[in-house]
Amino acid sequence: MGYDLPAVLTVESEGPVRIVTFNRPDELNAVNADLHRAVAEVWRQLAADQEARVVILTGAGRAFSAGGDLDWITTFLDDPAARDESIREGAQIIEEMLRFPLPVIAAVNGAAMGLGASMAVLCDVVLMSERAYLADPHVAVGLVAGDGGAAFWPLLTPILRTREFLYTGDRIDAATAVEVGLASRTVAPDELLAEARKLAERLAAMPAEALRSTKRVVNMYLSQALGGPMQAGFAAEVSTMKSPEHRERLLAIRARAR
């Protein structure tokens, strides 16, 4: 099956396994407009692929995804239409991943920040390189963690731990992520993709309908629990996107990055 996607998101076929790769390695796979749109659209294309049985999600180069691209996010300060479209697509990404029928294995090869962290923990199995880490720095730039962190992390890890992680934006190393329930297990960096492929092949050999139905039942709990918090989270994120404090902090971070 042919996939209609920009070059910033690639899909490789290995038998019944599809390897989806964030492909902006020079920018640490930071999410720009093209990648954001592609990640919102890829799940329906994968679901329509009749030969696919399992998906691996990973990043090219040193990072899984370093969150939102600063240049793209800065345009939202003076472009309400682009801002609102990003929120709509963000909700679509979460909804599509929860609804997606096939098992998805995250191979977290490096930094997974902001939306990158949200997409990682939304996968069915999260394999983390021992060098990788999660972080959600929304609050540090004056934003509510509306694209999954504030709503989704408390379902996976104790709320007391979640609060500290989200309030500070501190990095969560791979071992800690496993300890608190944000990842399945750690893997040696040079074995990460091989281990993901091994697990994917094992899952691809399982009875397909039983596997899909089991995922559907498990995700019912998540979908029901997320209904209110996700809507509230995105609404609060939009509100903070308009705040003077967010503008000030974002422009300062962008200036330092140049």
Q: According to CATH, what is the number of the domain 9-191?
A: 3.90.226.10
Q: What is the pLDDT of residue 222?
A: 83
pLDDT the model gives residue 44 = 97
Residues of the chain scoring pLDDT < 70: none
| pLDDT number for residue 113 | 97
- Concatenated DSSP letters for the chain? ------TTEEEEEETTEEEEEE--GGGTT-B-HHHHHHHHHHHHHHHT-TT--EEEEEESTT-SB-SB-HHHHHHTTS-HHHHHHHHHHHHHHHHHHHH--S-EEEEE-SEEETHHHHHHHTSSEEEEETT-EEE--TGGGT---TTTHHHHHHHHS-HHHHHHHHHH---EEHHHHHHHTS-SEEE-GGGHHHHHHHHHHHHHTS-HHHHHHHHHHHHHHHHHHHHHHHHHHHHHHHHHHTSHHHHHHHHHHHHHH-
Confidence at residue 228, expressed as pLDDT on a 0 to 100 scale: 84
